[in-house]
Structure 1
Amino acid sequence: MVVEKEGTFEVNGHSLYTKSWLPDGPPKAKLIFIHGFSDHLGRYHAFFLALAARGIAVHGVDQRGWGRSVTKPAHKGLTGPTTQVLADMAAFITSHLPPAAGAADPPVFVMGHSMGGGQVLTLACHPDYQESVVRPVRGWLLEAPFISFSPEEQPSALKVFAGRLAGKLLPHHQLKHDIVPEHLTRDPEVRKSILADELMHNTGTLEGLAGLLDRTAALASGEVRPQKGGALRSLWLGHGTRDKTTWFEASKKYFDECTGEVKDREFKAYEGWYHQLHADGPESEQFYKDVGDWILARCEGERAEAKL
């Protein structure tokens, strides 16, 4: 039986909504999850249930500006700059790390989807967080990370330039970016639920959108990549080949060219799948299994090393 617990996480004077999916019995692993643009934890419910049923405790947070962490209209999309986004994530991850080196807590993994995948990858590569956050985490997972727009979603250079300029003048100005459900999933029922979901407000701020574009540009160019020294121990990246939101080819290129410092790494291509691997129809159960298998295999490795 999986136990679900709601709560809040206080960071820099802000209260963020959290939810955990806990296995019946001591967890074999902890997974910290970071959602995507205009998304919230409730959209991943079936995925998290499947992981918790296998002994993986899942802890997630509705990021600043999204989901149930929004308490008034002016807060929609108000994420702050990238420094704030990274600080929020680092604080939440750190709150779930063992209190001391060698503590008998289960291994911790971090996963991000879409925009959250780009944020997680940026954090994992950031020099300021290598010892405090990256090294204590056993493995990092990316689901269709936002490394580049798909050709279908690629904005014009003029639009990007205008957005960056306006973001400096009016950082908190809100801007709608409607997401096309048909680009996210092949499942017609999931498409309907996206349109009916009032928590998916599709609203960003110019500051937040500029930060997203900057992070994406830095990843796509290879400027941001894993640091030398092995702090990032293990990396898994899964992407659908027919993703119409973020670009499969950009993820594959990044993996092939920029992750050589990570000795334990795996790229999984989901042939014909769309953007939401966790909600792309009945086949998504294979995605649940792949993620669970990858995490649990590294838990077994940790236990084997501890016995030596």
Structure 2
Amino acid sequence: MIDRSDRILSHQEGTFQGVGGINLYYQSWHPEGKVRAILAISHGLGAHSDRYGNVIEQLIPKQYAVYALDLRGHGRSPGQRGYINTWSEFREDLGAFLQLIQTQNRGCPVFILGHSLGAVIVLDYILRYPQQASVLQGAIALAPTLGKVGVSPIRVLLGKMLSRIWPRFTLNTGIDISAGSRDQQVLAAFAQDTLRHTRATARLATEFFATVDWINAHAGDWQLPLLILHGGADRVALPAGSDIFYQRVNCTDKLRIEYPEAYHEIQSDINYREVMADLEDWLERHLAPETAQLGRGSGELEFPSF
């Protein structure tokens, strides 16, 4: 048990079964007392579920629980680093993760958040399975990689060429660690993170780009409340990509905020408090009035529901 912000924070770990019987790692953080809502997190390429401490510290005192998984080939989950057979493995794994959360917390509102590659997984899942996704309260995409990416075109071309004949061929992404955050302490932590990796396989490359094309082609079908938060100085996932997607979304309950100087790890950049405040504000506005009422007191405000 960890005491933070005068609230008791309980931490749990476990595994759930993904596609093909693989046991995927997840962890969750819970406040003391009644949980008002749950935020599920899907991390980015090379990252893992430990990377969202600022989100947890922001939301636990507001009576949110947070769940985060390690994608296959990432963190504490098994599998070749940065490899998938098909994109559907990511999609179905996320579906199993959400089912686990809903089973453990019946009747509790659930939001889904994806960062970078994880945002692509989230957007693809929701667009592919609108009926299953309709039980979610909304989706948040942090720095989604929906357009140009900060990977050398030569590396991208090589991955596409080798996907059919050598799908497990692995390359370093070549992304500069300094593109993650303007906070030097954060960068130092990244460099020492033994669970972090910088690898991607040829098959992942082709599956990723095909999925991004599909998502952009079907943006007009989007139905859930949507929040996109993106750094204007993001060199890993250029912000123009998320802006184009946002403009194509016909759903009226959408919001995109771009932070002019922010980098890719937007939840860990020097302006993270502003980002966290915007995230919390949006979540509060998308809770049902009776659920939002539970968060009142201790100076907390009740926000209207859209």
TM-score range, shorter chain: 0.7 to 0.9
Aligned sequence identity (%): 25
Look up the equivalent residue of 2:257 and give its one-letter code: K
1:159 deviates by 4.5
Equivalent-residue separation in structure 1 for 2:286 and 2:103 (angstroms): 17
Identify the residue that residue 173 of structure 1 maps to in structure 2. 169
Matching of residue 292 in structure 1 with residue 297 in structure 2: no
Q: Which amino acid aligns with 2:122?
A: V
The answer for the alignment partner of 1:205 in structure 2 is 201
Task: Give the one of 112, 118, 122 matched to 2:114.
Answer: 112
Query: C-alpha deviations, 1:23-70, integer Å up to 9, x for none?
Result: 111111111110000001111123222212211111110000001113
In 1, Cα distance between equivalents of 2:290 and 2:21 = 36
Distance 1:66 1:2 in 2: 25
Q: CA–CA distance in 2 between the matches of 1:81 and 1:215?
A: 10
Name the structure 2 match of 1:146. 145
1:241 CA drift (Å): 0.7
One-letter amino acid of the structure 2 residue matched with residue 266 of structure 1: L
User: Aligned residue for 1:131?
Assistant: 131
What does 1:248-263 align with in structure 2 at a 5 Å threshold?
248-256=239-247, 258-260=248-250, 262-263=251-252
Note the aligned Cα RMSD (angstroms). 2.0
Encode CA deviations 1:158-203: one digit per residue, 9 max, x unaligned: 6534321211111122222233121110001111111111111212
**Per the alignment, in what secondary structure is the counterpart of residue 19 of structure 1?**
strand
C-alpha contact 2:54 2:276 (8 A) present in aligned 1: no
Q: Aligned equivalents of 2:109 and 2:170: distance in 1?
A: 39
Query: Would you identify which runs of 4 or more consecutive aligned residues in structure 1 move more than 6 Å?
Result: none
User: What's the CA shift string for 1:94-132, capped at 9, x where partnerless?
Assistant: 222369xxx962211111000111111111111xx1212
**Which one of 5, 10, 19 corresponds to residue 3 of structure 1?**
10
What is the CA–CA distance in structure 2 between the aligned matches of 1:169 and 1:302, rounded to whole Å?
56
Q: For residue 123 of structure 1, what is the amino acid of its counterpart?
A: Y
1:78 matched to 2:74: no
| Residue 294 to residue 98, structure 1, CA distance change in 2 (3 Å) | farther
CA contact (8 A) 2:158 2:202 kept: no
The answer to whether 1:238 aligns with 2:229 is yes
The answer to whether the 8 A contact 1:233-1:263 is kept is: no
Q: Secondary structure at the match of 1:68?
A: coil
Equivalent-residue separation in structure 2 for 1:160 and 1:249 (angstroms): 19
Extract unaligned runs of 5+ from structure 2. 1-7, 293-306
Which of 253, 256, 263 matches 1:264? 253
Residues 14 and 193 of structure 1: is their aligned pair in 2 closer, same or farther, counting only changes over 3 Å? Answer: same
Q: Distance in 1 between matches of 2:63 and 2:209?
A: 36
Q: Could you tell me how far apart the structure 2 residues matched to 1:104 and 1:179 are? A: 41
| 5+ residue gaps, structure 1 | none
CA contact (8 A) 1:243 1:274 kept: yes
Whether 1:40 and 2:48 are equivalent positions in the alignment is: yes
Worse overlay, 140-149 or 171-180: 171-180
TM-score (structure 1 length as normaliser) = 0.86
Shift of residue 216 of structure 1?
2.5
Q: Contact between 2:36 and 2:291, CA under 8 Å: does it hold in 1?
A: no
Structure 1 CA distance for aligned equivalents of residues 280 and 28 of structure 2: 16
* 1:251 alignment partner AA: S
